[in-house]
Chains A and B, each alone.
Chain A
Amino acid sequence: GNSVTQMEGPVTLSEEAFLTINCTYTATGYPSLFWYVQYPGEGLQLLLKATKADDKGSNKGFEATYRKETTSFHLEKGSVQVSDSAVYFCALRLSGGGKLIFGQGTELSVKP
């Protein structure tokens, strides 16, 4: 079936460290891929998205590239800040449908 798998957390980094959160997916067809972020006590917010292979989504210094050959959409940021501490969710949307399928989420904690 269709699914999303993320690396397990929590991930703890020092400020200005490099961040990678792995995400792989299983899906039929050509899904769109998303990263959502959830700050403490809040709902999810769209961070970035990519709708076709080799697209790169980027926002707020974060980026992710849609890799169809490896069915991956890894999230990266070159220098994290304390304010990036949150839970990050990878998700896919199947072509032709509005429903999202989410990964389990990865908690990021950035220490000063």
Chain B
Amino acid sequence: NAGVTQTPKFQVLKTGQSMTLQCAQDMNHNSMYWYRQDPGMGLRLIYYSASEGTTDKGEVPNGYNVSRLNKREFSLRLESAAPSQTSVYFCAITTPGQTTDTQYFGPGTRLTVL
């Protein structure tokens, strides 16, 4: 997980509370991603950013917003948390190259919404 950091590692929220998950990379790559991991469902893409200042929806964007203000950081915001958003959230970056690119993942944030 070297090069991709996530904060916090753990968080407990009450329904309706808001919070921002932070992701930062020191590898100077353009593409960054937010996934959620749920038992039996693998990883599902929430949002991604191909470059600084651009963001696009993934498979499960509802209930989330993202911000890519600079090349290094990509944050995920829950405006009004719901129990269905209890999950483990992973940030990832992609090395450049169309045919050989690889995603590197952060250590994850375990979120519980009560």
Number of A-B contacts (CB under 8 A): 55
Within 8 A of A (CB), among B63-114: 90, 92, 94, 98-108
Within 8 A of B (CB), among A39-72: 42-46, 49, 51
- Residues of A in contact with B, size category: 20 to 34
Minimum Cβ distance to chain B for residue A90 (Å): 9
- Residues of B in contact with A, size category: 20 to 34
User: A98 is contacted by which of B4, B41, B101, B107 (Cβ under 8 Å)?
Assistant: B101
Minimum Cβ distance to chain A for residue B54 (Å): 12
- A interface residue numbers (CB < 8 A to B): 4, 32, 34, 36, 42-46, 49, 51, 89, 93, 95-96, 98-100, 102-105
- B interface residue numbers (CB < 8 A to A): 1, 4, 31, 33, 40-45, 48, 50, 58, 90, 92, 94, 98-108
